[in-house]
Amino acid sequence: MNHLAHCFLSFNDEDLLLGNFIGDFVKGNDWKKYPEKVQQGILLHRTIDSYTDNHPMTDRSVTRVRPYAGRYSPPFTDILYDHLLAIHWEKYTDEAFDVFAEKTYRQLEKRAAEMPAVLQERLPKMIAGQFLHGYTRREGLEWVLDKFSLRLAGNFDAQGLSRFFFDEIDAFSEDFNAFFPDLLAVSRAKVAT
């Protein structure tokens, strides 16, 4: 899962949100340097990633995108799944997307000084571009796919992947909606421990 899901699966807890948001940038045991509730968010991020990578429905989606993304199919699928979360938002929460996103932007901005330097640098641009809102629109998703593909070694047909995804969106939605309730339950259980 990508930014939107990690933020959503922080369950409106600012400390969990901070940890979950920085999770990819905290390596090894460095998570132990953070306050306890932020540590919990970092470990939640790792649980979300691991569970997602090993779920049969996610694997089905990964297999579908492999002709377009090769060995990078799992992270590309994570990005696609954030779009699916955005378009199926009402299935998983009563909170309006705009309310959730604006609150999340404010909380992240408030805690920016606690983030790794690379995120401190990126965050203002991300918030100015309303990065969570980007997942709600095809153009936003295509922009993310394009930017991500530029960071990878190899040639990727991000536009071809996007066309395929939107042609097959019902099948991808079926995978996602079979998977996400399981991830939601696992994430809630992780937070409760």
**15 Cβ contact list (under 8 Å, min separation 6):** 35, 37, 38, 40, 41
What pLDDT is recorded for position 38?
A: 95
Q: 154 or 46: which carries more pLDDT confidence?
A: 46
> Confidence band (pLDDT; 50, 70, 90) for 16?
very high
> Confidence band (pLDDT; 50, 70, 90) for 100?
very high
The percent of residues above 70 in pLDDT, for the chain, comes to 99
Kindly compute the dihedral angle of the four CA atoms of residues 121, 122, 125, 131, in this order, to the nearest 10 degrees: -160
Identify whether the C-beta of residue 47 lies closer than 8 Å to the C-beta of residue 190.
yes
Q: Could you read off the pLDDT of 64-81 as tens digits, one per residue?
A: 999 999 889 999 999 999
Find, among 190, 187, 191, the residue nearest to 52 by Cα. 187
What pLDDT is recorded for position 93?
A: 97
Find, among 158, 183, 157, 160, the residue nearest to 85 by Cα. 183
What pLDDT is recorded for position 136?
A: 96
Give the structural domain span for 134.
3-192
**121 Cβ contact list (under 8 Å, min separation 6):** none
Q: Could you read off the pLDDT of 117-168 as tens digits, one per residue?
A: 999 999 999 999 999 999 999 999 999 988 888 888 777 788 899 999 999 9
What pLDDT is recorded for position 180?
A: 98
Report how far residue 1's alpha carbon sits from residue 169's, in angstroms, rounded to the nearest whole number: 17
Q: Would the pLDDT of 46 be above 90? A: yes
Find, among 138, 163, 160, the residue nearest to 149 by Cα. 160
Total domains in the chain come to 1
Report how far residue 70's alpha carbon sits from residue 32's, in angstroms, rounded to the nearest whole number: 34
Identify whether the C-beta of residue 152 lies closer than 8 Å to the C-beta of residue 69.
no
